[in-house]
Chain A
């Protein structure tokens, strides 16, 4: 029983990270109809920026907040400089650019900070809660939960949040009510990059910092987005927690999977959901009357 509870709690903590990445992916997907394959590498790069700041003696939470701001600006810049010019380009061009970005961030991180694995500090104390779950995991869970709550309120209750939704849903109409759609896209990229940065900084103490640290995690993030429904931000978050729990339970209780084949769980989930419920668990097919 204790093992079971342990796995559920760890699943929830990891799930929070997957939820963040899934949310970032879904936000960009809703705005431009493409999966951002570079989301994980952007997060990894942000985490390195944070590491560098901490290495020169900046206090953790200051570096944390600065990284969020820098990542936001970076996301906006990527949209304005790279994606705005190819806005009307076909799907394949987008995919190639995403893969290009992935490779660029990955190599750049290796070139700047080299490929050796680094320890990334946790802002939370060592130790665990009743031996069930580490204090870092608890902290990580609540940091991401606060982040997700803030994002929800932003989209639901602020003018700009509503405008961003409108711009993603119907760009023509959004322009006609005076929303500058191009800037809303850029804001969306900025937010996605900032969310990813938080996920990166929170998971790094567990998986350690190296240029490939987000590859597997992004795969879980994709699985979460697809399980939850790629059209539903709330679903993506729920999907994140679900994937986190399923991954941990499968790794523990199915001997054939163990810890080595855990990543396969993500792939199996993606394929299964796409085969049997392509809209995901919470993805709505939009109700419209003719």
Chain B
């Protein structure tokens, strides 16, 4: 299988503070890859660097094309959708307007309407909330809206930043089942960042372990699950 994303020597910094020290990794087309790591390891930073939300250097090849010098809005147009930490919905706007804005870079009206229905079929609760202000949605609904809005881009690659954060376990199960479905049925590749390592390894087929801005372990989810260090530090058994 070919790689949808190849990252080489990626460095990123917040002002004078370096957060990523030249990391390399790749994502398989159609796969789900997860980045594990403790707080402050650089997981969110990695996603933000891919989306061009912070200053970075190195190489980021999306299906062979280097996107390191592109701005965020143009990177999304290349097919990378980012579901940010904290969901980032437009709280004053209705659920449906949020989805409409997700398709901002597209102009195929009929297809957009079809895609909105598709998002509603994944997340039926959003259809009930379609005219409700996004700020009044529950945490789970808001996360579903954030994922739905990202899907409206028709992405080739979906970046997910802690989608389980602050959600009840049942909602998390439901959300991850739908993510799996989106991955399998629509063939959307995913890069998942999670605190909840066992949950992430369930969905992902590949994993990287990030420690203070460096990748220390990589491999298939199975091999990571069996890794003694990972088990002790991140899975707790």
Give the interface of A toward B (CB within 8 A): 159, 162-163, 165-166, 169-170, 172-181, 286-290
Contact = CB atoms under 8 A, between A and B. Distances in A.
Nearest to A231: B92
A116 B136 CA distance: 56
Contacts of A165: 90, 92-93
Contacts of A159: 104
A173 B76 CA distance: 11
A177 B102 contact: yes
A174 B90 CA distance: 9
Interface stretch (B22-30, B81-89, B121-129, B225-233): B81-89
B133 A287 contact: yes
A175 B77 CA distance: 10
In the complex, which range does the number of interface residues on chain B fall in? 20 to 34
Interface string B71-82: 111001100011
A36 to B, nearest CB: 22
A166 B139 contact: no
B190 interface: no
A159 B51 CA distance: 23
Given A172-B53, A176-B76, A177-B153, A163 B104 contact: yes
Contacts of A179: 73, 101, 104
B11 to A, nearest CB: 21
B136 A289 contact: yes
25 contacts: A163-B104, A165-B90, A165-B92, A169-B90, A169-B92, A172-B53, A172-B88, A173-B84, A175-B71, A175-B72, A176-B81, A176-B88, A177-B76, A177-B101, A177-B102, A177-B103, A177-B104, A177-B149, A177-B152, A178-B76, A178-B105, A179-B104, A180-B73, A286-B92, A289-B135
A228 B176 CA distance: 44
Given A166-B90, A178-B104, 15 more contacts: A163-B104, A170-B91, A173-B89, A175-B53, A176-B51, A176-B53, A176-B72, A176-B81, A178-B105, A178-B153, A179-B101, A180-B71, A287-B91, A288-B91, A290-B139
A181 B90 contact: no
A179 B98 CA distance: 13
A173 B100 CA distance: 13
| A interface majority secondary structure | helix
B137 interface: yes
Contact of B73 (A169, A170, A175): A175
B138 interface: yes
B205 interface: no
Interface string B48-75: 0001010000000000000000011100
B97 interface: yes
B98 to A, nearest CB: 9
Nearest to B136: A287
A176 B81 CA distance: 7
Given A166-B90, A176-B88, A287 B135 contact: yes
Nearest to B83: A176
Given A177-B102, A177-B104, A289-B137, A166 B93 contact: yes
A177 B138 contact: no
Contacts of B137: 289
Contact of B101 (A166, A286, A290): A166
Contact of A173 (B88, B105, B136, B153): B88
Contacts of B100: 162
A169 B91 contact: yes
Interface in B131-169: 133, 135-139, 149-150, 152-153
Given A286-B91, A287-B133, A178 B77 contact: yes
Contacts of A174: 101
B170 to A, nearest CB: 18
Contacts of A173: 84, 88-90
B104 A181 contact: no
Contacts of B97: 162
A218 B82 CA distance: 42
Nearest to B52: A175
B59 to A, nearest CB: 22
Nearest to A284: B92
